[in-house]
Structure 1
Amino acid sequence: MAVAAVCGLPIAVVGTSAYIYNGWQQPGLPDWSLGYVYLPAWFGIIASSALFARLGSRLAYRLPAKRLKQAFALLLLVMAAKLLV
């Protein structure tokens, strides 16, 4: 989990930069956007991530590994079902 946490920030920075670069000067984008990044939503994601990161790390530390794996598998199943529908 520690490696995933450390790798998350560079991946997010590169991904966000790519969306900004590829969407730069595209017509029809809403106000308050940088390329394909809509700034109000981006700031909302940053705020909620900062608030819930501590809760998530506490849960990951306290839950048994088996229960955490089961919850993640359930999340993957729900996301796959949503993609299929």
Structure 2
Amino acid sequence: MAEEAIYVRIMADLEKRINDKEFEDLKLPDERSLALAYDVSRSSIKRALTVLASRGIIFKKRGSGTFVNPSYLKNQSMFQSEGTNL
């Protein structure tokens, strides 16, 4: 079985951290900091962030950074409370 690509593991971890509301201000660390934290190249971080952005989980704002999409978080909580609507 082929080993999971590095960026896929990073993506899954970032998504989990986002769902756990680890980024209180909704801003993710910069690519360089993430690369150091995960001990990988920036290209792996870029690829993971690009896929997360294409899924609507995060968005990149040129000159400001990478942020969690508030709509994603709102929809996540809606899905988590499924079945409790009266």
TM-score normalised over the length of structure 2 = 0.32
Determine which structure has more spread, i.e. the larger CA radius of gyration. 1
Higher RCO, 1 vs 2 (CA within 8 Å, ≥6 residues apart): 2
Greater fraction helix: 1
